[in-house]
Amino acid sequence: MALLFGLIFFVQSLAFAQNAMLTNIIVTNTRDDLLVYLKVEGAFIEKMKKAILSGVPTTFSFYIRFYQARNFWFDNEVEDIKVTNTIKYDNLKEEFIVNRSWEKSGPQVTRSFDEAQNLMKEVDSLKVVPLKQLEKGGHYQIRAKAKLSKVTLPFYLHYVFFFVSLWDFETDWYTVDFVY
């Protein structure tokens, strides 16, 4: 029995060895809006790539929370945004369809897996909040994290093999503080 538990823990620790992280978090602004750029690194492992190439639709979720920092009190949550990047491989046409929820232009189709991966990893010029909502000289904080939120297996197997989604990842919360 102990062996069984040990085995499960061991396998699990292997799964957790992948270190996904957010990089290139850039907060900038246009004339009207506050924009965020994100990139998740280390999310694609071989197994996940294999799964995607097998036609498993895979979704990355990005959580962006925008806080107004306050002294001696909880920070005020101004905005809570969740965006998703979903990739699906079309075997027949040998092309990747990446659907980014925050892009209005619709799904992007590419034959290059690298390009598709880059599309999945990035969130570009995401509008967080209109600038007019911000106070001049105010302290603000943006917290972001990315995680694999959904792997859809055929025949609803993800309901049965809930503990075998071994390529799961979830990054820590990353924060960027700034004064407007």
- Residues within the interface to another protein (CB under 8 A): 1, 4-5, 8-9, 12, 47, 50-51, 53-56, 61, 89-94, 105, 109, 149-155, 157-166, 168
For another protein, the closer of residues 109 and 131 by Cβ is 109
List the structure tokens of 145: 């994290």
Around Cβ 36, how many Cβ atoms within 10 Å? Answer: 24
Minimum CB separation from another protein for residue 107, in Å? 11
To another protein, the closest distance from the beta carbon of 65 in angstroms equals 18
CA dist 154 and 161 (Å) reads 11
Q: How far is the CB of 168 from another protein (least distance, A)?
A: 5
Query: Starting from the edge strand earliest in sequence, which strands make up the sheet with 174-179, in order?
Result: 108-110, 95-100, 76-90, 58-68, 139-151, 174-179
The residue type at 40: V
Q: Which CB, 119 or 142, lies closer to another protein?
A: 119
Q: Among residues 74 and 163, whose Cβ is nearest to another protein?
A: 163
Sign of the C-alpha dihedral computed for residues 85, 89, 94 and 97 taken in this order: negative
Beta strands in the chain (DSSP E): 21-29, 33-41, 58-68, 76-90, 95-100, 108-110, 122-130, 139-151, 174-179
Min CB(66)–another protein separation in Å: 23
Residue 23: CB minimum distance to another protein, A: 24
CB-nearer residue toward another protein: 68 or 149: 149
Residue 8 CB, nearest approach to another protein (Å): 5
Closer of 71 and 105 to another protein (Cβ): 105
Helix axes 46-53, 113-121, angle to 10 degrees: 110
Task: Tell me the two tokens of residue 95.
Answer: 């092309």
Neighbours of 150 (CB within 10 A): 15
Residue 16 or 180: the one with the smaller Cβ distance to another protein is 16
